[in-house]
A and B are shown apart, each in its own frame.
Chain A
Amino acid sequence: MADIALNPRPARKRIGDVTAWQRLKANRNWLGIWFMLPTAAFLLLFLAYPLGLGIWLSFTDARIGRGGNFIGLENYEWLWGDSVFWLSVFNTLLYTGVASVIKFAIGLYLALLLNQHMPFKAIIRALVLIPFIVPTVLSAIAFWWIYDSQFSILSWSLKKLGLISQNIDFLGDFWNARWSVIAANIWRGVPFIAITLLAGLQTVSPALYEAATIDGASRWQMFRHITYPLLTPIIAVVMTFSVLFTFTDFQLIWVMTRGGPVNATHLMATLGYQRAIGGGYLGEGSAIATAMIPFLLAAILISWFGLQRRKWQQGEAND
């Protein structure tokens, strides 16, 4: 494909000379197809096809390496009555809900703080980004060690301060484990949200604030009526990403708890992995993965229609 296009043949030809091939080359639609080819190949072969295949697999009893037979809805029926599956759904919703809300709150607050004038601004912003840059797995390992049941630095510090008398069992107790992994997820997600919102804040024209100050608006009023509405579109995008990637998180859980204790932190993604790759039940694992799709679609639609419309309404009102 590349050599065809590379051929530097100028289109300075007399009309009569134009061959079918030349027309094809110049034709916008055909050229478009050529240009789209690599992307289409990747996305069709490694994204669309597997996506369809996954849905198909969820209707079969496929095991690792051997093809399955069509068994209809049996995998779903089995999951419907499987308490571990429902637990993982609950965990996933809890994990996504709590982590996304807190990430957003802290992220917005941090963005507002960073938007103020202060010395060493650039360095501080770069530092804030670090948790986002470092590979998740590697920081998860650090958290794993921080949450160790015997040698946790947090337990040690709290003990020295006299606040607790026994080590906190971070990853061994159901709720402790859930809050611990959520905390790690928040820690990891805040910088992305903060920096993105910060950039959004900087597009807000200072003149608006000046006008508001002259009108005697309070800080909260300014935030509520100027900052927030103008930020809405970027909030929509950021939160869609944040919710989606929290919902489908795998790495943090896999490294820190592998779904334990007693499945208390299993997310749908990790349970799918355990059943499909660990246990070898590809069909059942695919059914779990497929069951995530409706949730994701719902999240996308909510953010798309909910927030987009508000942005549009806002725009209208402002104009």
Chain B
Amino acid sequence: MTDMTADAKRGPAAADHSEGMSYLETLPRRLVTLYLPLSIILIVLLFPFYWMALTAIKPDEQLLDLERFNPFWTWTPTWKHVSKLLFETHYPLWLWNTMFVAITSTILSIIASVLAAYAIVRLRYRGAQWVGGAIFLAYLVPPSILFIPLSTVVFQYGLFDTPFALILTYPTILIPFSTWLLMGYFKTIPFELEECALIDGASRWQILTKIVMPLAVPGLISAFIFCFTLCWNEFIYALTFISSTQHKTVPVAIVNEFVDGDIYRWGSLMAGALVGSLPLVVLYAFFVEHYVSAMTGAVKE
């Protein structure tokens, strides 16, 4: 993670320092000031996932009977809910929809952001600073203000209930932040490199693709993860603009489809929530360092 790279850069002095401070503290003291509060917070943060996972594999009769079965554990796990989810519902289709929408709009947004960020930082056209500020402000316009007029816009453009309703609207959430993020990365790339290339006769496009982009790969990855997560998470647009079952995304579909009239299928609901979270968890398992550094804007690699 960031701390490792940071430590590595700061060299032995930094490492010494953290050891140096902690020798002042005895173990019991650290137990009370560090480990105890930390474990309480961790338990609270992780309990809902444990509960989700447990509910997903509990047989139905144990779910609603807290007296005869210890609710915190089950000795008879069942794959019924998960297999019902995967084989008897449209769940795989919803996963595919979500994936498709998320990837397409992420790619669109990143292309747009790279161009915009580069133009703002390096072309420095007239008014670039103001445009940069405006784009950042755009990030602060929340979807819950926009969804009502956007729904009429989506009707007007004839996009209602198609994946394009989402693919084209998600970039409005994604572009501002990723542009902002990439601007930070591009700024760190030395000007001299570009100047040399310009003198050698490279076009701006060549500079962008051959020099700047390769150097900004970590930033691109962060932006990609960020965009992808936001898409996967998005709810209100998907709820409003999509109406038929076969076009829904996972978050909306789960809420709507696992409540059969007046019966809640808690097992399947939880299984659906768990499986729906997995792609992101996997993504983060591989790229967590990038993500952390991206969020902080501490991008001075």
A→B interface (CB under 8 Å): 5-6, 8-12, 28-29, 31-33, 35-39, 42-43, 45-47, 49-51, 53-54, 57, 62, 65, 106, 109-110, 113-114, 116-118, 121-122, 124-131, 133-139, 141-143, 145-146, 151, 153, 156, 187, 190-192, 195-196, 199-200, 202-203, 206, 209-210, 213, 234, 237, 240, 244-245, 247-251, 254-255, 268-269, 272-273, 276-277, 282, 285-286, 289-290, 292-293, 296, 300
Contact = CB atoms under 8 A, between A and B. Distances in A.
Nearest to B7: A202
Contacts of A5: 203-205
Contacts, number: 305
A134 B145 contact: no
A273 B235 CA distance: 12
Contacts of A146: 48, 51
Given A128-B45, A138-B277, 15 more contacts: A28-B123, A32-B123, A33-B125, A39-B112, A39-B135, A43-B135, A51-B145, A113-B37, A124-B42, A136-B233, A137-B252, A139-B273, A142-B48, A191-B45, A206-B18
B2 A46 contact: no
Nearest to B233: A135
Interface in B59-109: 63-64, 66, 71-72, 108-109
Interface string B282-294: 0011001001110
Interface string B162-177: 0000001101100110
6 contacts: A8-B205, A42-B168, A124-B38, A142-B270, A199-B295, A273-B240
Contact of B46 (A8, A127, A199, A276): A127
Interface stretch (B151-159, B187-195, B212-220): B151-159
A232 to B, nearest CB: 14
Contact of A39 (B125, B175, B204, B255): B175
Nearest to A113: B38
Contacts of B72: 153
A300 B140 contact: yes
Interface of A, helix, strand, loop or mixed by DSSP:
helix
Interface residues of B, number: 111
B296 A200 contact: yes
A202 B49 CA distance: 29
A141 to B, nearest CB: 5
Contacts of B229: 133
A187 B46 CA distance: 10
Contacts of A45: 153
Contacts of B297: 234, 237
B128 interface: yes
